[in-house]
Amino acid sequence: MERPPVTLDAANAALFLDVDGTLLDFADHPDDVAADADLKALLGGLHQRVGGALALVSGRTIASLDRIFAPLCLPAAGGHGVELRADGAGTVPAAVHHLPDEVLTALEKFASAHDGVLVEIKPGGAALHYRRAPHLERQCRERVLSLMEHRLTEFRVLDGNMVLEVAPAAANKGEAILALLHAPAFAGRRPVFLGDDVTDEDGFRAVNAVGGLSIRVGARPGSVAQYVVDDTDHVRRWLAQALDGRA
């Protein structure tokens, strides 16, 4: 993978930005993540520069994104596309299956029995975090896969950064980006997607297929992203240069 292009046509670009690991570094607990004033100002300025064609695309809920970036209320895809908000106004939930209560209960019981493991309930699914207990990765994986076996055909397991997520199979970041490209602010623009995790590969594939730019944070063998930047600091610098017209 190469470095991102040195020019970005803000009049023709639609920016799609993952959050954790892309705009912000990871924290031990998802609720500990918060955006600083400089990042909020940067995103607010970029949102204006691209005519409103900037969306956050995250595994988080839109409510969580709003908390992190308040008072900004940006277009967003939450829960890997389970929720969509095209214009910063109302959130539209996608028609997806909901994770059975007995599966949620089993995940919560497993987490309560293992220090450092956390369950995060999401629209249509759930995430099992083990960032505080990386030595329990194998046990977490075995528990999630055992719950999936023969029972959850409408769901898939997303293997993220210190997290295993059970999400609706019909929802992914690629489909979310393609859906947002039909919204008035985004229509006719060239999509640019920045992400860092395995769950962002669907987004990379989608923007590649429609002639967009896919930019990965941190190199990963086998990624379909066209370009790479080193870390969240480099993402901010590249976006700031794009805002100034100097990317």
The region that residue 116 occupies, defined by phi over 0 for left and psi between -120 and 50 for alpha, beta otherwise, is left
Closest alpha carbon to 158 in 148, 136, 205, 112: 148
| DSSP structure class, residue 97 | -
Side-chain half-sphere CA neighbours of 96 within 13 A:
28
Side-chain half-sphere CA neighbours of 139 within 13 A:
14
**Any alpha helices (H) in 72-221, and if so which ranges?**
101-112, 137-148, 173-180, 201-209
R_g (Cα) of the chain, nearest Å? 18
Annotated catalytic residue within 9, 18, 36, 196:
18
Q: Which helix (H) or strand (E) covers residue 126, if one does?
A: strand 125-129
CA torsion 138-217-82-8 (nearest 10°) is: -170
Residue 18 a catalytic site member: yes
Q: How many residues are recorded in the chain?
A: 247
| DSSP structure class, residue 20 | B
Residues classed as catalytic: 18
